[in-house]
Amino acid sequence: MKNIIIYFLTGGTVTTAIVLLEGSNRRLLSGLATLMPVFTLVAYIFIGQSQGGRTLSQHAWLVLCGTIVSWVPYMITVAVLAPKYGPSRAILLGLAVFFVLAISYLLVVGRMKWFV
């Protein structure tokens, strides 16, 4: 339970810092923090400590391929649709694209037993 609280506080702190940096016109820092795989970084530190290097390596491959399959189309959807439909609708549609592709990818990965 202690670890879960630490994970929660770490993620919340990083997210809050990014929003505060953006709000205070520190775009370089907020942009860098947003581009940095913060949640992956934090998760990988804890996965590496608890599960070891082999598990971390397998998870990194899973995420790398999943990013190409689901995150890239999500970002393209938001970028293309935001000017036409506004931020909220573009993000919502982008998330729909992301979740359909991510779930499909994870189902295929599980069925094919990749990254095990």
Burial of 94 (0-12, 13-18, 19+ CB in 10 A): buried
Do 107 and 99 form a contact (C-beta atoms < 8 A)? Answer: no
**pLDDT score at 56:** 95
Q: Which tokens sit at 49?
A: 């400590």
Do 74 and 94 form a contact (C-beta atoms < 8 A)? Answer: yes
**pLDDT score at 101:** 98
Compute the distance between CA of residue 26 and CA of residue 95 in angstroms, rounded to an integer: 27
Domain residue spans of the chain: 1-51, 52-116
| Averaged pLDDT in 10-residue chunks for the chain of 116 residues | 83 85 87 79 89 95 96 97 98 98 97 94
Q: Is the pTM of this model over 0.85?
A: no
